């Protein structure tokens, strides 16, 4: 099977259309590359909302921050899955970098447009739809969720256990952000199963509970339900034990004050018409994009060589991204709307 890297392709739809008996080593490597692209696609929208919040210690800000660290861990685990079966993650390439506003990569949820905006009801609704355990990952009835895509990947691992080599594995702990937040070497099918379980259940919860089985704090919910709480404005609580019923009838979950970051035009602010950036704004936008691009290059280099130490500069670049983003969300647009700029997440080649 030809390797497809284009973000705007239908690669995942096509991969899921391959009969299980024909899902060979190349199918597995292609699927893992696409899964990496899906994980990275969530970070821009979640981070934009986080960086727009005025009080970084607000409970909602802390919840979004923890989810971002979960997603970074998921990406790292999938990169380990790819290198253990002889592949190499492609992260720093304009063909694979996320596009906004745009559907998720590979033909996933073509009805869902993912965009960059500050913290609003619209943005948290979109976040919950990304994480939804109910909506289809593609226009194939058999594979209903992103979790089901990972199930297909797990089944391919089960069929090709001989491919698991343990080569170029990163070992890096982010466990201060939750029990499952550890990028661990994957040198056995048991470890691969455990990693896929973490990815699936942190996002969707389990079939028995909306709670995150790998929480950063007791009672923490899976991502989908955290975002639904923000959208509904109420905590999700258990309202009945027999039968078990959960409902959004708990304490209020108010969205904290945020800078009014406008939705970024498709392709960036240069396409913003009257809001196309002046040189002083463009300077900050470029500083952010350079940091973003350097982060992707550092991450890619880590898995090319299996060098865990390369994650430290990547984390440093993400800190620089936050600094520039916080400047952007306080720069007003010239159109008089009262809204502000925000990061574009555009890749700049060296």
Return the structure tokens found at 248. Answer: 């959004």
What is the DSSP code (8-state) at residue 53? B
Beta bridge partners of 169: none
Closest CA to 152 of 236, 255, 28, 49: 28
Query: Which of the four pLDDT bands, split at 50, 70 and 90, describes residue 176?
Result: low
Question: For residues 166 and 110, what is the distance between their CA atoms, to the nearest angstrom?
Answer: 35
Mean pLDDT of 127-155: 65
Say yes or no to pLDDT of 323 above 60.
yes
Closest CA to 133 of 203, 211, 221: 203
pLDDT at 318 (0 to 100): 92
pTM higher than the cut 0.85: yes
Confirm whether 55 is domain-assigned: yes
Element (H, E) at 244: strand 244-247
Confirm whether 164 is domain-assigned: yes
Question: For residues 147 and 131, what is the distance between their CA atoms, to the nearest angstrom?
Answer: 9
pLDDT at 137 (0 to 100): 36
Q: What is the CATH number of the domain that holds 16?
A: 1.20.1260.10
Report how many domains make up the chain: 1
Q: Are strands 237-241 and 244-247 parallel, antiparallel or unpaired?
A: antiparallel
142 vs 62, residue with greater confidence: 62
Q: Which residues of 206-242 are buried (b: 16+ CB within 10 A; e: fewer)?
A: eeeebbbbbbbeeebbbbbbbbbbbbbebbbeeeeee
Cβ atoms of 237 and 249 closer than 8 Å? yes
Confirm whether 245 is domain-assigned: yes
Confirm whether 296 is domain-assigned: no
Question: For residues 315 and 130, what is the distance between their CA atoms, to the nearest angstrom?
Answer: 24
Share of the chain above pLDDT 70, in %: 88
Q: Which residues of 159-189 are buried (b: 16+ CB within 10 A; e: fewer)?
A: ebeebbeeebbbebebeebbebbbbbbbeee
Question: For residues 213 and 210, what is the distance between their CA atoms, to the nearest angstrom?
Answer: 9
Cβ atoms of 102 and 126 closer than 8 Å? no
23 vs 144, residue with greater confidence: 23
Closest CA to 176 of 70, 255, 313, 270: 70
pLDDT at 5 (0 to 100): 75
Q: Mean pLDDT, the chain, as a whole number?
A: 87
Mean pLDDT of 151-180: 83
Confirm whether 88 is domain-assigned: yes
pLDDT digits (tens, 9 = 90+) for 214-238: 666 677 788 888 999 999 999 988 8
Residues 6+ apart with CB under 8 A from 103: 109, 110, 111, 112, 113, 114
Question: For residues 35 and 284, what is the distance between their CA atoms, to the nearest angstrom?
Answer: 31
Cβ atoms of 87 and 33 closer than 8 Å? yes
Cβ atoms of 212 and 221 closer than 8 Å? yes
pLDDT digits (tens, 9 = 90+) for 25-60: 999 999 999 999 989 999 999 999 999 999 999 999
149 vs 325, residue with greater confidence: 325
Return the structure tokens found at 269. Answer: 């602010």
Confirm whether 183 is domain-assigned: yes
pLDDT digits (tens, 9 = 90+) for 185-220: 899 999 999 999 888 777 654 455 677 666 666 777
Confirm whether 281 is domain-assigned: no
pLDDT at 142 (0 to 100): 39
Confirm whether 347 is domain-assigned: no
Q: E strands of 292-348, at which residues?
A: none
Say yes or no to pLDDT of 103 above 80.
yes
Helix axes 59-84, 223-232, angle to 10 degrees: 150
Cβ atoms of 12 and 85 closer than 8 Å? no
51 vs 141, residue with greater confidence: 51
* Structural domain span for residue 240: 11-261
């Amino acid at each position: 099977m030809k390797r497809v890297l284009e973000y705007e392709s239908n690669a995942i739809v096509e991969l899921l259309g391959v009969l299980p008996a024909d899902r060979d080593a190349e199918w597995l490597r292609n699927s893992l590359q696409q899964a990496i692209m899906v994980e990275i696609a969530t970070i821009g929208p979640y981070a934009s909302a986080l960086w727009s919040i005025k009080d970084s210690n607000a409970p909602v800000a802390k919840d979004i921050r923890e989810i971002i660290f979960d997603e970074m861990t998921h990406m790292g685990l999938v990169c380990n899955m790819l290198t253990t079966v002889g592949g190499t993650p492609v992260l720093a390439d304009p063909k694979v970098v996320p596009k906004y506003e745009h559907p998720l990569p590979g033909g996933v949820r073509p009805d869902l447009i993912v965009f960059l905006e500050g913290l609003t009801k619209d943005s948290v609704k979109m976040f919950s739809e990304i994480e939804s355990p109910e909506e289809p990952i593609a226009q194939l009835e058999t594979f209903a969720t992103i979790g089901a895509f990972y199930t297909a990947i797990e089944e391919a691992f089960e069929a090709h256990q001989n491919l698991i080599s343990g080569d170029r594995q990163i070992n890096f702990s982010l466990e201060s952000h939750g029990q499952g937040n550890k990028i661990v070497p994957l040198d056995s099918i048991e470890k691969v199963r455990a990693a896929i379980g973490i990815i699936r259940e942190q996002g969707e919860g389990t079939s028995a509970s909306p709670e995150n089985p790998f929480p950063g704090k007791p009672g923490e919910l899976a991502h989908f339900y955290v975002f639904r709480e923000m959208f509904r404005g109420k905590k999700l609580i258990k309202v009945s034990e027999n039968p078990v019923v959960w409902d959004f009838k708990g304490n209020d979950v108010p969205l904290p004050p945020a800078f009014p970051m406008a939705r970024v035009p498709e392709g960036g602010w240069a396409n913003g018409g009257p809001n196309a950036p002046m040189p002083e704004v463009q300077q900050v936008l470029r500083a952010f994009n350079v940091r973003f691009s350097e982060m992707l290059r550092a991450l890619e280099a880590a898995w090319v060589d299996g060098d865990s130490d390369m994650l430290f500069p990547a984390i440093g670049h993400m800190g620089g991204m936050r600094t520039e983003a916080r400047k952007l969300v306080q720069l007003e647009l010239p159109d008089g709307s009262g809204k502000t700029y925000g990061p574009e997440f555009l890749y700049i080649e060296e």
